[in-house]
Amino acid sequence: MDLRSHYPYWLLKHGIVKTYPSVTESLHADIAIIGSGITGALVAYQLCKEGFYVVMVDKRHVGQGSTAASTCLLQYEIDTPLHKLISKVGERNAVRSYELCLEAIEQIGKIAHNFKHVEFIHRPSFQFASFKHHVADLQKEYILRKQYGISSVEWLTGADVKDKFGFEAPAGILSADGAQLDAYRMAHSLIYSASRNGLRVYDSTPVTAIRHHKRSIELKLEGKYTITARKLIICCGYESQAFIPKKIETLNSTYATISEPYEQTNFWYKNSLIWETANPYIYLRTTSDNRILIGGMDDTFYNPDKRDRKLKQKAVQLRQSFQKLFPHLDFKSDFEWAGTFCGTKDGLPYIGSIPQRPHTYFALGFGGNGITFGQIAACCIRDILVNKKNPDTAIFSFTR
């Protein structure tokens, strides 16, 4: 699958970082993980901490799937607003999903603290109403979040928005609890750290088939080797669909552009993450080297050639939308990239097992919160494997 255009910013910035050998013999382990993106990295980190003997394989190099293209806003706000999620999955599960995302941001922050260069920074998250007729729904959302005590939220009127952010919008919700990250670098740091804790990592190693035995699984690798393990964790991002008999994902295309570095370091209120209610939408964040990153303008197709052909035009549209909000911040695009992006019917990830694949767990953080979902998956799967009861796991099951 073609997950992204060739030159996402993080890949250009850091290059390859580190490579690992490919498999040159058949292997045995407690647990095998397929996928070395941010999800596989978070899962491996947790499992190695528990003392499991883990082998990780990836057909690409570490982090070079969707993770290298991510714009890395860490938000507890799921693609589906709370008031809509309640009607889809019920009050308890909807509220708990929001709480789990909040907890995941904190957990990622604590882990990130151990590493250099991963650029985890707490940021407020500000969602504004793109149009007057969006205000009523946004207000409903604000009231619900306050009622359930989810994050510290503040309602901003049009005048407040102008005062704090300097642009015109009818209203917005300002939340205290967001963050930003460099997920590509974080995946590398997690995997390197876990490899010093027993993880064996092999890149350039495609898994071509999975066999399920009575008490184990067997991965057939390209070439003659196999990996056998008691348990398997599939962290193959949007390519995981190949291992699932039922279609669970909808594929879209998304775009991003990043500015040249500015002289100034403060752009708007606390350099918040900014996003809007319109669809198609744009979203914004800043970087530690004083760039502004704009993403969005999604298309509802999976066609990598068409996606990449549209990239220049999409980058212009992203810049123009940004300049309408901030005409005084002359946005000079330095790099732009595109990626495949996947949603689910309710905006929640799929975590857990399916009957067709015994001894196997999926960690599929599909949606705009892919990174925080990856951390939730890591905790759920760790708890399953250490036989610790975790009622949250059911929220993300395939049978929900």
Q: Which residues bind ligand FAD (CB under 6 A)?
A: 3-4, 34-40, 57-60, 64-67, 69-73, 183, 206-207, 235-237, 239, 254, 256, 295, 339, 341, 365, 368-372, 374
Minimum distance between the CB of residue 92 and ligand FAD, rounded to whole angstroms?
24
The whole-angstrom distance between residue 399's C-alpha and the CA centroid of its chain comes to 22
* DSSP per-residue letters across 129-146: -SSGGGHHHHHHHHHHHH
Q: State the minimum distance, in angstroms, from the CB of residue 133 to ligand FAD.
A: 27
Let me know the angle formed at the C-alpha of 310 by 9 and 134, rounded to the nearest 5 degrees.
85
* Shortest distance, position 2 Cβ to ligand FAD, whole Å: 11
Angle at 114 between CA 113 and CA 118, to 5 degrees: 65
Closest approach, Cβ 1 to ligand FAD, in A, equals: 8
Q: What is the spatial distance between Cα 251 and Cα 2, in angstroms, rounded to a whole number? A: 12
10 Å CB burial of residue 159 (0-12, 13-18, 19+) is: exposed
Q: Which is nearer to ligand FAD, 171 or 375 (CB)?
A: 375
Q: How far is the CB of 347 from ligand FAD (least distance, A)?
A: 12
Query: Smallest distance from the beta carbon of 8 to ligand FAD, in angstroms?
Result: 7
| Shortest reach from residue 168's CB to ligand FAD, in Å | 25
Give the nearest residue (CB) to ligand FAD: 370
User: CA-to-CA distance for 290 and 331, rounded, in angstroms?
Assistant: 12
Cβ distance to ligand FAD smaller for residue 56 or 161 = 56
Residue number, 135 or 372, with CB nearest to ligand FAD = 372
Judged by beta carbon, residue 205 or residue 393, the one nearer ligand FAD is 205
The answer to whether 202 and 349 have CB atoms below 8 angstroms apart is: no
| Rounded-to-integer distance, Cα 288 and Cα 117, Å | 10
Residue nearer to ligand FAD on the CB measure, 258 or 325? 258
Nearer to ligand FAD, 135 or 181 (CB): 181
Measured CA angle at 117 (ends 72, 237), to 5 deg: 35
Query: Measured from the CB atom, is 144 or 186 closer to ligand FAD?
Result: 186
Joined together, the tokens standing for residue 315 give 């980058």
C-alpha distances (whole Å) from 45 to each of 42, 113, 142, 345, 374 are: 5, 14, 35, 29, 12
Distance CA 75, CA 84 (A): 17
